[in-house]
Structure formats: C-alpha cells, structure tokens
Amino acid sequence: MNPSWTAGTRSGRAPASASGSPSTTSRRRAVGIRTTPLSQEFFLRLLANGRLLRKDVKQLYSARTDRFLADRYVVGKCYLCGFERARGDECPSCGSWLDTSRLLDPRSSLDADDRLELRDSWQYELDLAPFATDPAIRPWLEELRGRLKPNVSRFVFEKMIEGEGLESRPITRDLPWGVPLPENDLDGRSLGDVSKKVLYVWFDAPIGYISSTIEWARAQGRDWRRYWIRPEGDHAEGARLIHFLGKDNISFHCIVFPAMLAWQKSDRSGLLGPGPGERYVLPENVPANEFFNLEGKKFNKSEGWYLEVDDFLDEFGADRTRFYLTAAMPETADSDFLWREFKAKTDLLANVFGNFAVRILKFVAQHFEGKVPPRVGYDAELERARERIALRTKAVAEEIEGFRFRRALEEFLGLAEDGNRYLDETAPWKLRKNDPVACGSALHVACSSCP
C-alpha cells in the first residue's frame, strides 16, 4: 500500500456523488450567460438595500504583468498568527480574514520573483458590521448557534462575531476576468466608470448554488423557486439548505453567504429572485469538518503526498473506502488517514457486519429459498430483541440526522454486534429441524437488524 498514491479522479468516480455541486468552471459552462444576470442582480439588490460601501483601497499590483492581483494569487506572512503562507484574503492556519494590503512580505503565487507594489483603487464592499444585530437575521442566527457542531459554533461566534468582530469585505476587484459590474443601478442611474470592475469570485461562486438549481430545474421541467424562495414569515417545513464543507469555508457559509441571501429583499416585481413578501432560504446547518491529513502530513499534490481516488477504489472498493473515511472523519478536530488504521477499521467491517450479514443471508438462501420468512405468533424474547433492534436503528437515524456520522457508524456496528449475539442465543440452525416456525420467526427478527 503506497502512501504516494494521488488523490484526484480520472473518471469522476468517487466514494460519494457530488453531482449536485458543480465547480465554478463547469457551472459557467452549463448555465452560460444566465449566471451573469443573477450575480449582477445580487449586487444591485445589496446596493439598493444600503448593504454595500464604496471605499478607497490599496491593492497589490504586479508591474511585471501590468495588473492588480486577485487576493488568492497573493501569499505572504499572516500579520495575526505569523503563518508563512497565508493567502491574500484568509489565513488557512488561524482562519482569520485578512487585509491583503497588510500581509507581511507579500509575493505573487504565480511568480515568486515578481515584486508587488501597493496602488490606489476603489471597490465595493459588503458591510458585515450590522450582520449579527440585524433584526431580520438575529432569530435565524440564534437558531443556527444551537444547531452547529461545537467546533463550528466556537469559530463563528467566539472567534469571528464576538472576538474579531465583523467588518466590510470587498466584493469587487480590478481584474480582466469575472462577472462585470452592471453599468446602472435598479433605478437606471449610472454607477460611473465601472469598465474595469468585476464581481470577485468568492461573491459570485455561491450564487452558483442557485444558478445550478435553476438550470437543473429548467431541464427537469420543475420550479426552482420551491427550493430557494419562501414567503416572509413562513416557517413551514420545506427545502433545507445544508452546507457540507471544510473548516476553511465556515465563516463564508455561516456569515457572508447568509448575509448576501438575507439582504436580497425587494418590493420590486419582475426580478429573478425574491419578489415582494418573499425571501431566500437561509442555511439550516453547516456541519463543517476539520482538516484531513495523510499520515500526519497535509495532502500535497505537488509533493506527491496524496492518494489517487480511482486507484484506491480499484484496490479496496467503495464500501471499505466509505466505511473508513466515515470512521476517520475529522468531524470536530483534525484527523489523519493512517494505513494501519485503515486495515484495522476495515477488518472490523468484515468481521462484525460482514460476518453477521453472511450468517443470515446464507442461511435464508439455503433453507428458505432466499426469502425472509414471516414472524409467526408472539414470543416475549423475540419481542424484546425486536425492541432492541428498533432502538439501535433509531439511534443510527438520529446520529445521521444530527450529522454525527462517526457515532452513527458506531451505532451501526453495535447493531451488527447485537445481531451476532442474537443469532448465537437463538441458534436458528438448531431450531430448523425441531421447530421450523420458530426458526423462521427468529430469522425474521434477525433480518430486521440487517441495515
């Protein structure tokens, strides 16, 4: 087992499907020009609602390429924690949002020899200062705090909102690519010379969640609005927006994107998004994971320190892969892929669940023509066994619904362990000759514990 295997995909085959989450590039190919109007509408609604600030700023400029650099193309030392390879807009070590102009020893990630300089410009910024106190957001934010995993809640509230505090964040840049700013506001008034301004990619990217839904719904002949738009004050159960992601995207999906959604309200008709008396659906939960490393080191494609998904699946199969990735999932703290642990955990899958499933299915196939026999009559022991199985099954479902997948896996294995004990106690292979009806009832109960 070679730990230098790579972790990309050649065919798109992966342990879990991500077909509903297209990349920005593929999304733009699929949605085409319809993406631009929706992103521009988001911008114009925020502008009309007084949520944007036009601010004079200093940006890093590459004289060698004669252009301003996007924040993600700038690396340097974090001025808060000292991490040497902080990005221009965020530090992956401490998780803080950064002001690119304050980065220590800034340099281009495209060309380390390119000497960058600060130049004056102006940009639109999303004003996040009133986010946590906004009456339209506070009730949702309080509910979210009660739902988030402890590590996510601490980061969002103790670190970001109550600790560092929220400030405005740029949503435009001077770049040669991107969604162009509209020339006029919703009332037709000119925004001035915006010919060199584009919507920054982090602002445009999550709008792709909506535009990809629109494209999918149109292709299926469905109404996309039932997934994303609700009447004001309507708290009936409907579509649930849940973001599964890594911890480096927590602040964006718990603060920035919800602010973008909540501040889209408008009394105007004829726009693509919410009309009078309507709103966008806000995230119900953000069950973010921490970082997943490989044998104590960060996955690094350029250094060959990663696992190639297709090769891994060819060697070990999807079931073993899913099982181990769930068992090792970094739900509340960073964790590692460890080869020795992979073997131990997947052996557990075979020895506990695999053994239980084979015992039941083989017996049913040999003696009941492959059909689960019915339960006949009432037996107190069988009823108690059925109740234990029902409690375990309910626990598995509750842990999954609460996004506690490692605990769900433990309950799942507990269900199989209970099943193995039950088979040992009832010994249906002994009952088969003397009491086939009791044998069938025992197998019926055992099969109900086989997920």
Where are the alpha helices (H) located in 248-354, listed in sequence order?
Answer: 250-251, 257-262, 309-316, 318-327, 339-348
- Res 1 pLDDT > 80: no
pLDDT of residue 93: 85
The full length of the chain comes to 451
Alpha-helical (H) ranges within 291-435 are: 309-316, 318-327, 339-348, 355-367, 380-401, 405-426, 428-434
Q: What is the pLDDT of residues 145-177, one digit of tens each?
A: 999 999 999 999 999 999 999 999 999 999 888
Residue 31 has pLDDT above 70, yes or no: no
Q: With a cut of 80, say whether residue 134 has pLDDT above it.
A: yes
Q: pLDDT tens for residues 291-332? A: 999 999 999 888 899 999 999 999 999 999 999 999 999 999
Distance of alpha carbon 343 from alpha carbon 108, whole angstroms: 42
From CA 6, how far away is CA 312, in angstroms rounded?
A: 9
% of the chain at pLDDT higher than 70: 91
**Residue 13: pLDDT over 90:** no
pLDDT greater at residue 377 or residue 168:
168
5: pLDDT strictly greater than 70: no
pLDDT digits 0-9 by tens, 173-214: 998 889 999 999 999 999 999 999 999 988 999 999 999 999
Q: Does the pLDDT at position 384 exceed 90?
A: no
Fold for the domain defined by 24-285:
Methionyl-trna Synthetase; domain 2 (2.170.220)
What single DSSP character describes residue 11? S
Topology of the domain comprising 296-448 = Isoleucyl-tRNA Synthetase; Domain 1 (1.10.730)
User: What's the gap between Cα 279 and its chain centre?
Assistant: 22
> How far apart (Å, rounded) are the C-alpha atoms in residues 190 and 180?
14
Measure the CA angle with vertex 280, ends 230 and 49; round to 5°. Answer: 125
Average pLDDT on 426-451 reads 87
Q: What is the DSSP letter of 147?
A: H
State the alpha helices, DSSP H only, in 90-197: 138-147, 150-153
Reported as a single tens digit per residue, the pLDDT across 226-237 is: 999 999 877 667
SS3 205: helix
Q: CB atoms < 10 A from the CB of 140, how many?
A: 16
How does the average pLDDT of the chain come out, rounded?
Answer: 89
Give the residue range(s) of CATH 2.170.220.10 domains in the chain: 24-285
Delimit the CATH 1.10.730.10 region(s) of the chain.
296-448
Per-residue confidence band for 267, with pLDDT thresholds at 50, 70 and 90: very high
